[in-house]
Amino acid sequence: MTGGELKTIRESLNLSAQALADLLQASGLLKTNHERTVRRWEDGSRGVPEDVAAFVLGLDCEVEAIVSAGRAVLIGSTSDTPFIRYETAEDWARYHGPGSPYQFRLEAAALARLRRVAMSDNEERMRAVRIVSMIPEYYEEWRFKNGREDDAETRSDWARHKIGLD
């Protein structure tokens, strides 16, 4: 993998150089957390290690899997389809449990790709991709008002409510 490829994929994953360094350190692929190391790989002054390239490509495949799942939902839909965007790692973990602190960034990258894929497929389908920001205070207020337990279906219903499909 070239430095330019690394930078392009990193940016498409919605990760800063520091965020990638954090992930690499947490994964044991970078001994010290140095954004500078990532920058050197990207500018070509150092070669990108094979294990780092494989890790970054794995993240990219994870995003593509999210896009594929979203696309399948769109294909079966006859109306606008809401997707929830989590703004922070804390919000994502609150509703999905423990996981990678950068999962919410990967999902945001997947939503951006999903919009582009839908746009290239069909203009009408592009309008069908609706992205709702998860604001926990608003969601929790709606949930309690409607007497609902938190689960994926409730979050989906809330997102549909936010775009006027309830």
Q: Which residues contact 98 (CB under 8 A, 6 or more apart)?
A: none
**pLDDT tens, residue by residue, 18-69:** 999 988 998 889 888 789 999 999 999 999 999 999 999 999 999 999 999 8
Residue 132: phi and psi, rounded to 5, are -110, 125
Does CATH number 2.60.120.10 belong to domain 3-162? no
**pLDDT tens, residue by residue, 69-79:** 888 888 877 77
pTM, to two decimals: 0.80
